[in-house]
C-alpha cells in the first residue's frame, strides 16, 4: 500500500462553490451528502492535524488507524467521482488546525459556503461553531448536518429522563428496543419472553476451551508510523508484532462484522466477562473502531446480529444476540446521551475528590500484579482491552487507589483504538471511576481479588497472594477495597447497593480493621513499586 500515492490525486483547491469538512471519525459513505452523486461545485476536505494528534498522548496504532482510514476514505470518494482535498500531516500548507486550514481552503477556492457534520466531541463542537461564526462574518454561508449515524439525537436521552432524579439504562434500553422494533415479536413483546438475558451470560472460560483467533488485516502501515514519528507526535505503544489488526475501510469493517457473526457471536454473551491469557479479544467483536469512525452504522451491526439469531437460533441463542445488541442499542446510545446532557461540567466531576497521580507502570505494564501487567501490556501491544479488563482490572485498581480522574481519563483517552471523548469519558469518569457521583451507574464497580481470581487465570503464579489480605505479600486489591470503602463512607453508606460492605466491615475485629487499613496505606506509599 503506497500511503503517499493514495492521496496524490486528492489535492484540489480549484475554484468551488462549497467546502464540506469531513472529520476523522465521520467516514460514512452512506451519508446523504453523497447521495446525489458527484457535485462539481462541492469540495470535500479532510486533514491530518496536530490539534487532533496532540490533545492526548495517543497509542501509535490509534493515530495510524485514523490517518489510514481517512486516506482510504478520501480515495474512495475520489474513486466515486467526488472532488476531494486532503491535507497530509507533513504538507507545507498544513496550518495544523481545523480553523486555519478551512479558512485557507475557503480563500483559495473562493467557496461561499461551508458545511460540516455535527461532531461527537464537545471541544470540536465549540471549535467548529466558532469557525462557523467567523465564516458568517466574512459572508460565507454555513450549515451543520447531522452525522446520520446514531439512533438518537444528542439531547434525546435528556428529554427521555426529563423530570426524573436519576438516569438508568434499563428503561431507556427497553424504549429503544420497542421504538426500533429490535428483537421484538409481532405483538410488541420482547423476543424470548424477557428484555434482558444478562443472568445467562458472563461465565468463566472452561478449562481447555479454545478461542478462535482475532481476525487481522496485515496491512503495512510503517509509512504512516514514520510520518507520525518524524513529525514529533508523542505517542505510546508500538505497531503490533502479530500484524496489523484493525479494519480501515467499510469493506474490511463488513468483513470483520461477518467474522464476528459467524465465528464469535455464538459465544459472545457466555464469555463476555471472562479474563484470559489465551486471547486478547476473547469473543468480543472489536467493531468499536469501525463504528466510532462511522465506517459501519450501529443499525447495520444490530441488524446482522438479529438476523443471525432469527435464521440460526440453534447456534446463536437469544441470550448472545440480546447481550450484544444491548451494548450498542443500549449502552452506546445511553453514554452519548449522558455526554451531551452533562458536558462541559462532566469533564470536571470528581465525586471522591481523588488526587493521586497515575503510577508510571500504567504506561509500561511493569508491575508485579499479574492481572494489571497483562491488561496494561496487552493494551500497549494491541491498543485494545475488552470491557472487563478496562472496568474490573485497570479501572478497579485506579478507583480503589484513589487516582485523580483527570489522569485516568487521559490514559483511557490515549491508549485505546476506539477512544473518543463522548464514549471514553462517560465510561471512565462515569461507569468506572464513579466520579460523576452516580449519573451513569447506581454504584461504583469495585472488587477485591476474588472477582479477578474467579474470572481469570492471573492469580495463579502472581507475585501476590490472592487470598491474603494483610501484609506486604497480600494482593493489594484486598486491603485497598476496604480502604476505599472506609475513606468514602459518608458518601456511600446510604447507597442501598453498598450497605452489605459496611455491615461486613462493622462486624470485623478492630485489630483486623486496623491491619487492613495499614496494609492499604503501605501499598499506596509504594504504589510505583507494586
Ligand atoms: P464488544 O464487547 O464486542 O461490544 C460491542 C460494541 O458495543 C462495542 O464495539 C461498543 O460499540 C458497544 N459497547 C459495549 N460496551 C459499551 C459501553 N460501556 N459504552 C459504550 N458502548 C459500548 N468504548 C469505546 O468505544 N470507546 C472508549 O473510549 C471506551 N472507553 C472505555 C473506558 C472504560 C474505563 C470502560 C470500562 C469502557 C470503555 N468503553 C469504550 C466501552 C467498551 O469497553 C468498549 O466499547 C469495548 O471494549 C470495545 O470493544 P469491542 O468492540 O470488542 O466491544
Ligand atoms: Fe491481580 Fe491480586 Fe490476583 Fe495478583 S493476586 S493477579 S494482583 S488479583
The reply to whether ligand 2 has any atom less than 6 angstroms from the CB of 453 is: yes
- What pLDDT sits at residue 313? 95
- Closest ligand by atom to 419 CA: 1
- Closest ligand by atom to 479 CA: 2
Which residue carries 481476525 as its cell? 215
Residue bearing the CA closest to ligand 1, atom 52: 286
What is the spatial distance between Cα 167 and Cα 374, in angstroms, rounded to a whole number?
A: 34
Q: Could you tell me the distance, in angstroms and rounded to a whole number, from the CA of residue 458 to the centre of ligand 2?
A: 6
Q: Which atom of ligand 2 is nearest to the CA of 463?
A: 4
Residue bearing the CA closest to ligand 2, atom 1: 371
**pLDDT average per 10 residues of sequence, the chain (530 residues):** 89 93 98 96 97 96 98 97 97 95 96 97 96 95 97 95 89 96 96 90 87 93 96 94 93 98 95 94 97 98 98 95 97 97 97 98 97 97 97 98 98 98 98 96 94 94 96 98 97 90 95 98 98
Q: Could you tell me the distance, in angstroms and rounded to a whole number, from the CA of residue 107 to the centre of ligand 2?
A: 59
CA distances for 104 relative to 16, 96, 135, angstroms = 13, 11, 12
Residue bearing the CA closest to ligand 1, atom 44: 387
- What pLDDT sits at residue 496? 86
The reply to whether ligand 2 has any atom less than 6 angstroms from the CB of 340 is: no
Collapse the DSSP code of 293 into the 3-class scheme (helix H, G, I; strand E, B; otherwise coil) and give the result: coil
Q: Could you tell me the distance, in angstroms and rounded to a whole number, from the CA of residue 517 to the centre of ligand 1?
A: 34
Half-sphere exposure of 487 (CA within 13 A, CB side): 19
The reply to whether ligand 2 has any atom less than 6 angstroms from the CB of 481 is: no
Neighbours of 207 (CB within 10 A): 6
- What pLDDT sits at residue 240? 82
Supply the pTM of this predicted model: 0.96
DSSP for 326-394, written as a single string: IIIIIIIHHHHHHHHHHTTGGGG--TT---BPPPGGGTT---S-HHHHHHHHHHHHHS---HHIIIIII
Residue bearing the CA closest to ligand 1, atom 42: 387
Q: Could you tell me the distance, in angstroms and rounded to a whole number, from the CA of residue 228 to the centre of ligand 1?
A: 26
Which residue carries 485523580 as its cell? 404
The residues, any chain, with a CB within 8 Å of residue 491's CB and separated by 6 or more, are: 351, 352, 437
Q: Could you tell me the distance, in angstroms and rounded to a whole number, from the CA of residue 77 to the centre of ligand 1?
A: 29
In 166-278, which residue ranges form alpha helices assigned H by DSSP? 169-180, 222-230, 250-259
Q: Could you tell me the distance, in angstroms and rounded to a whole number, from the CA of residue 389 to the centre of ligand 1?
A: 11
Q: Could you tell me the distance, in angstroms and rounded to a whole number, from the CA of residue 354 to the centre of ligand 1?
A: 24
Collapse the DSSP code of 47 into the 3-class scheme (helix H, G, I; strand E, B; otherwise coil) and give the result: strand
- Helix, strand counts (H, E) of the chain: 22, 5
Of the chain, the end-to-end C-alpha distance in Å amounts to: 44
Q: Could you tell me the distance, in angstroms and rounded to a whole number, from the CA of residue 459 to the centre of ligand 2?
A: 5
Half-sphere exposure of 228 (CA within 13 A, CB side): 28
- Closest ligand by atom to 420 CA: 1
Q: Which of 372, 376, 452, 454 to mutate for ligand 2's pocket (most ligand atoms within 8 Å of CB)?
A: 452
Q: Could you tell me the distance, in angstroms and rounded to a whole number, from the CA of residue 476 to the centre of ligand 2?
A: 8
- What pLDDT sits at residue 1? 64
- What pLDDT sits at residue 203? 87
Q: Could you tell me the distance, in angstroms and rounded to a whole number, from the CA of residue 494 to the centre of ligand 1?
A: 30
* Residues flanking ligand 1, CB < 6 Å: 284-288, 291-292, 327-328, 331-332, 335, 386-387, 390-391, 395, 412, 416, 418-419, 423-424, 427-428, 431-432
Amino acid at each position: 500500500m503506497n500511503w503517499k500515492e493514495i492521496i496524490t490525486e486528492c489535492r484540489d483547491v480549484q475554484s468551488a462553490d462549497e467546502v464540506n469538512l469531513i472529520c476523522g471519525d465521520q467516514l460514512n459513505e452512506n451519508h446523504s451528502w453523497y447521495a446525489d452523486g458527484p457535485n462539481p461545485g462541492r469540495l470535500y476536505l479532510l486533514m491530518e492535524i496536530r490539534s487532533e494528534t496532540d490533545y492526548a498522548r495517543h497509542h501509535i496504532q490509534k493515530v495510524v488507524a485514523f490517518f489510514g482510514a481517512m486516506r482510504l476514505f478520501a480515495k474512495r470518494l475520489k474513486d466515486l467521482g467526488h472532488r476531494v482535498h486532503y491535507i497530509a500531516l507533513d504538507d507545507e500548507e498544513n496550518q495544523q488546525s481545523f480553523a486555519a486550514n478551512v479558512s485557507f481552503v475557503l480563500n483559495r477556492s473562493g467557496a461561499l459556503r461551508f458545511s460540516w457534520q455535527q461532531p461527537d466531541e464537545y471541544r470540536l463542537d465549540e471549535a467548529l461553531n466558532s469557525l462557523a461564526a467567523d465564516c458568517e462574518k466574512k459572508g460565507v454561508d454555513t450549515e451543520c448536518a447531522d452525522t446520520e449515524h446514531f439512533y438518537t439525537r444528542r439531547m434525546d436521552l435528556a428529554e427521555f429522563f426529563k423530570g426524573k432524579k436519576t438516569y438508568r439504562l434499563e428503561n431507556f434500553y427497553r424504549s429503544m428496543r420497542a421504538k426500533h422494533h429490535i428483537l421484538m415479536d409481532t405483538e410488541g413483546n420482547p423476543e424470548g419472553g424477557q428484555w434482558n438475558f444478562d443472568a445467562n451470560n458472563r461465565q468463566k472460560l472452561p478449562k481447555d476451551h479454545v478461542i478462535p483467533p482475532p481476525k487481522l488485516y496485515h496491512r503495512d502501515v510503517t509509512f504512516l508510523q514514520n510520518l507520525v514519528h518524524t513529525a514529533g507526535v508523542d505517542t505510546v505503544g508500538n505497531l503490533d508484532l502479530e500484524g496489523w489488526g484493525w479494519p480501515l475501510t467499510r469493506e474490511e469493517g463488513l468483513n470483520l462484522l461477518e467474522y464476528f457473526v459467524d465465528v464469535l457471536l455464538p459465544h459472545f454473551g457466555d464469555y463476555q466477562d471472562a479474563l484470559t491469557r489465551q486471547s486478547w479479544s476473547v469473543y468480543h467483536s472489536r467493531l468499536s473502531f469501525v463504528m466510532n469512525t462511522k465506517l459501519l452504522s450501529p443499525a447495520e451491526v444490530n441488524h446482522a446480529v438479529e438476523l443471525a439469531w432469527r435464521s440460526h437460533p440453534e447456534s446463536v441463542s437469544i441470550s448472545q444476540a440480546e447481550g450484544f445488541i444491548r451494548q450498542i442499542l443500549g449502552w452506546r446510545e445511553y453514554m452519548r446521551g449522558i455526554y451531551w446532557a452533562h458536558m462541559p461540567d462532566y469533564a470536571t466531576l470528581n465525586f471522591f475528590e481523588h488526587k493521586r497521580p497515575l503510577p508510571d507502570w500504567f504506561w509500561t505494564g511493569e508491575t508485579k500484579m499479574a492481572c494489571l501487567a497483562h491488561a496494561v501490556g496487552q493494551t500497549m501491544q494491541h491498543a485494545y482491552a475488552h470491557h472487563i479488563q478496562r472496568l474490573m482490572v485497570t479501572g478497579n485498581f485506579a478507583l480503589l487507589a484513589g487516582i485523580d480522574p483527570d489522569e485516568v481519563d487521559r490514559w483511557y483517552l490515549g491508549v485505546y483504538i476506539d477512544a473518543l471523548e463522548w464514549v471514553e469519558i462517560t465510561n471512565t469518569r462515569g461507569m468506572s471511576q464513579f466520579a460523576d457521583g452516580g449519573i451513569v451507574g447506581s454504584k461504583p464497580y469495585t472488587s477485591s481479588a476474588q472477582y479477578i481470581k474467579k474470572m481469570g487465570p492471573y492469580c495463579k503464579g502472581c507475585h501476590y497472594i490472592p487470598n491474603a489480605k494483610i501484609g506486604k505479600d497480600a494482593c493489594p486489591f484486598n486491603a485497598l477495597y476496604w480502604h476505599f470503602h472506609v475513606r468514602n463512607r459518608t458518601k456511600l453508606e446510604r447507597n442501598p447497593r453498598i450497605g452489605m460492605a459496611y455491615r461486613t466491615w462493622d462486624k470485623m475485629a478492630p485489630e483486623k480493621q486496623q491491619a487492613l487499613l495499614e496494609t492499604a496505606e503501605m501499598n499506596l506509599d509504594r504504589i510505583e513499586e507494586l
